[in-house]
């Protein structure tokens, strides 16, 4: 099973996306990444785990083991699952401080992602990131 942030890193995603000339091919790759996310246990599909601000339903569960954060996530939309995979590659398996220190805006700029998402998808992506960063901040405080 693929672990985003461990088996698939931000550099892997950036390198692979650079091979594609069209955004249609890039979207297909992002959707394929989402298909590699392990399914979320239905017990975690609760209102408490729902990410507010997303157009689609997105569930995010955080666990800390050995000082590292691990996130499980799922969505009812294929492209959103792919976006979750892109975000998890940045944050999974990192300490709370490294989560907070990671330049997510620089990562998104390198992907040129936000320019190719609808405003509502972009807002949803930022809501996912905020939820992860808030989780990390609570562990650091």
Rounded distance between C-alpha atoms, residue 69 and residue 108, angstroms: 21
DSSP structure string for 110-121: HHT-GGGS-HHH
Q: Which residues pair with 8 in a beta bridge?
A: 4
Tokens at residue 30, please? Answer: 């992002």
* Catalytic-residue membership of 54: yes
Catalytic residue among 8, 17, 54, 84: 54
Measured CA distances, 103 to 43, 59, 133 (Å): 32, 23, 11
Measured CA distances, 88 to 22, 40, 67 (Å): 24, 14, 17
Residues labelled as active-site residues = 54
């Amino acid at each position: 099973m693929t672990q985003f942030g461990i088996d698939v890193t931000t550099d892997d995603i950036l390198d692979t996306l650079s091979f594609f000339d069209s955004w249609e091919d890039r979207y297909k790759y992002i959707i394929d990444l989402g298909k590699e996310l392990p399914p979320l246990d239905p017990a975690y599909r609760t209102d408490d785990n729902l990410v507010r601000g997303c157009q689609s339903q997105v569930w995010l569960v955080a666990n800390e083991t050995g000082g590292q954060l691990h996130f499980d996530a799922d969505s009812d939309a294929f492209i959103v699952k792919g976006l979750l995979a892109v975000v998890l590659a940045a944050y999974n398996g990192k300490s709370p401080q490294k989560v907070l220190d990671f330049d997510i805006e620089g990562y998104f700029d390198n992907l040129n992602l936000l320019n190719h998402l609808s405003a509502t998808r972009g807002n949803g992506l930022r809501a996912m990131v905020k939820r992860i960063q808030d989780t990390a901040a609570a562990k650091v405080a």
